[in-house]
Structure 1
């Protein structure tokens, strides 16, 4: 698999959040290669979005990469879990897309070893902290270009999802009106989505 051209990332944050669905997130490391289809994302629209780290143009060491060009990696730690985001929008416009869940495609044995043997396949990467642990993505990946190896986004099978659902983002209850923005997107009926409801 080869990285997407960096021109892919030059689109609006909401559109990028949708168009990342079906693409493949890849991490190459000394331990091996892991990859998964992106099945769930959340958009964060910076200065005017109370749920964004860059709300009110908050510029810190952590958010600095968001003020740069699109297509770079924004990793941060929350509750001991590392989360991975794709920087979006124009330079000086600090926005990003959180990758919330992936469907494992490559390196499943390595993913199992990192996440713990005995877990069901759909439990390995169905959440933003789970997928980074599974793929060995951590804070040292901060600032890496996602259009170059070793951490990158590939086109995958090139087939766009048939149906995409949207709704409010998760875990941002204290963000005022922003908690209701329908800026979470996922591939409908995909069992690897973080809040997929399985039939009993």
Structure 2
């Protein structure tokens, strides 16, 4: 695989334009490489109520207001990290969530990370081997397989030799890219900014947001 990386200009565009162009590209972090098969776009403040930046800049989302091409990592549900790539010029607060991919290099390391205590359940069934297709199938699994965590928040992915970095490689054929509603969001749930490679087994299942209710 070639080592030419996606430059900052690629990311300095609206997230819904960047997102489908990431499909088929390879994200490399240390010994593990993942071909992206599913992503979701999130818009700037005041425009996309599902975005972390909707209400403006905070200490948590500050990286999303920085230069494009940087990694935004957040902690969710008290147990998982998710990785995003910042889009648009500095100050705009937009990004793409990396939802799923195929591990194309470093499978033994990715599998080892998925089995470590704290991620073995619920990310995998205890005592059962993890199928290759499930190693990075879903945003939390993808982050675990790649070894991405809080300390990687804010890293620049547009520097030669950086880790993580996105190889330019060969993007998915436009005819294979489908789009639909984002998964699991309660606001702007019908906005078709989830993009995936049709028929790829590593794409995660769509889940509509279900409001939590208190037991009666």
Aligned-residue CA RMSD (Å): 1.4
Instruction: Give deviations 1:144-199, integer Å, cap 9, x for gaps.
Output: 0111211111123x2433411111111112x1xx1110000000100000118xxx
Q: Report the equivalent of 1:183.
A: 193
Q: Report the equivalent of 1:39.
A: 37
Residues 132-147 of structure 1 aligned to structure 2 (within 5 Å): 132-147=143-158
State the distance in 1 between where 2:89 and 2:28 align: 24
Residues 1-200 of structure 1 aligned to structure 2 (within 5 Å): 1-28=3-30, 33-47=31-45, 48-57=47-56, 59-79=57-77, 80-116=79-115, 118-148=129-159, 149-156=162-169, 158-161=170-173, 162-173=175-186, 175=187, 178-195=188-205
- What is the number of equivalent residue pairs in this alignment? 187
State the distance in 1 between where 2:171 and 2:19 align: 16
State the distance in 1 between where 2:32 and 2:90 align: 30
Gap change, CA 1:65 and 1:155, over 3 Å in 2: same
State the distance in 1 between where 2:6 and 2:42 align: 22
Q: Is the 8 A contact 1:46 1:56 kept in 2?
A: no
Q: TM-score, normalised by structure 2?
A: 0.83
Q: TM-score, normalised by structure 1?
A: 0.89
Regions of 4+ moved over 6 Å: none
1:12, distance to aligned residue in structure 2 (A): 1.9
Greater per-residue strand proportion: 1
Q: Is the 8 A contact 2:21 2:171 kept in 1?
A: no
| Between 110-119 and 65-74, the greater mean CA deviation after superposition | 110-119
State the distance in 2 between where 1:73 and 1:92 align: 15
